[in-house]
Chain A
């Protein structure tokens, strides 16, 4: 292998094309770096920090760091997994993620990444925020309790659908997903079930109505095999949508 266009991820040689990020190259080589806000169809966002890796003694997000020849990248180490676990724990306590009552359970990327990093408990004090459910659209429901602000729907609606249905409003802890419509309701927006934005949510926040339990619990995407083998929710659309 030509070392001029490869780097090493946990000791494994990963080839890359000029312009690729560490994440792009790892995904193309079939090497898993955990992530939530990344989707190869969309511009990298670098916001969830779950894909944190160590390069040359510094922690960077793999989805935004450009690949370069000869880099030594560490991903699956105890300290980096612990950092990821802490990020996951903060995401869990910040929203209302009641897995036993969620239609997405077993096919949820937040859950699957938490399994991957060995998260057994939330550690922090729960916020138990009061958030709404918007069921105004005929085909889709939005449960804001489960939104992790990854902005995949924002990017998909803007960049792939050309609609700008979603945006993030507020700052810091007040950040929240908002919908572009006269009432702020999804049913009054330009959102359609055929939008790409309807098929990129990694959690149970944007869900199709009806058929929620057509795939039984126990046979869902991540019930038998880890996300490192199965891949993302969006990449498996149609196979095991809950």
Chain B
């Protein structure tokens, strides 16, 4: 795959809040041990925009719009192992709560009929990705190899997961590191 002997890792946030990425940084100084083992490709951490061939892809967030679908499929194409990181990637999470309402109602509430709106009107700039009718967990769009739930998964859970995965072991989270909230 890559020229580097290090494991290449890419990360992205789709319909998420970047909380999982913040939690990733909660591994604190252990990130120094991590960069001995891995090299980051496309990621908010590197600000690299183009995704190359990678060994591991960490995907935060569910699939809410056309751009999310495109990025997710690109991650699946380029990454040998793809991980759903956090509640939204695993089951849609908080953004999927809009699935209880028709999309038109959501847009109307936010941009037309809601409280304190000036210049009402649903944004239609061609640069804004079109929303999907519903928000989906990523396994409903691509094959996913590993799931790490949590809103967010704790830094310790992410560390357990990464060290066991990179060591080629089966993932075994301690009880306090497996949670859905």
**A contacts, CB < 8 Å to B:** 92, 96-102, 105-106, 111, 114-115, 118, 120-123, 125-126, 128, 130-131, 145, 217, 223-226
Contact = CB atoms under 8 A, between A and B. Distances in A.
Interface residues on B, range: 20 to 34
Given A98-B97, A106-B181, A122 B176 contact: no
Given A99-B87, A130-B100, A217-B181, A121 B93 contact: no
A123 B179 CA distance: 17
A99 B136 contact: no
B134 interface: yes
Given A96-B96, A128-B92, 7 more contacts: A92-B91, A100-B93, A100-B94, A105-B180, A123-B139, A128-B100, A226-B175
Contact of B140 (A99, A125, A217, A224): A125
B137 interface: yes
Nearest to B149: A120
Given A98-B94, A226-B175, A128 B147 contact: no
B90 interface: yes
A203 to B, nearest CB: 13
B91 A126 contact: yes
Contacts of A122: 90-91, 137, 139
A96 B100 contact: yes
A146 to B, nearest CB: 12
B136 A121 contact: no
Nearest to B134: A128
Contacts of B179: 106, 115, 223
A120 B91 contact: no
Contacts of B181: 99-100, 102, 105-106, 111, 217
Interface in B56-106: 84, 87, 90-94, 96-97, 99-100
Contacts of B94: 98, 100-101
Contact of A100 (B87, B134, B136): B87
10 contacts: A96-B97, A96-B100, A99-B181, A121-B84, A121-B90, A121-B139, A121-B144, A122-B137, A126-B91, A126-B140
Interface string B164-181: 000000000001101111
Is chain A's interface secondary structure helix, strand, loop, or mixed overall? loop
Contacts, number: 75
B14 interface: no
Nearest to A125: B140
Interface in B87-133: 87, 90-94, 96-97, 99-100
A33 to B, nearest CB: 18
A105 B151 CA distance: 11
A212 B91 CA distance: 24
Contacts of B137: 122, 126
Contacts of A225: 175
A126 B90 CA distance: 11
B148 interface: yes
B157 to A, nearest CB: 11
A128 B90 contact: no
Nearest to A96: B100
Contacts of B97: 96, 98, 101
A78 to B, nearest CB: 13
B100 A121 contact: no
A126 B92 contact: yes
Contacts of B148: 120
Contacts of A126: 91-92, 96, 136-137, 140
Contacts of B147: 120-121
A131 B92 CA distance: 17
Contacts of A128: 92, 96, 99-100, 134
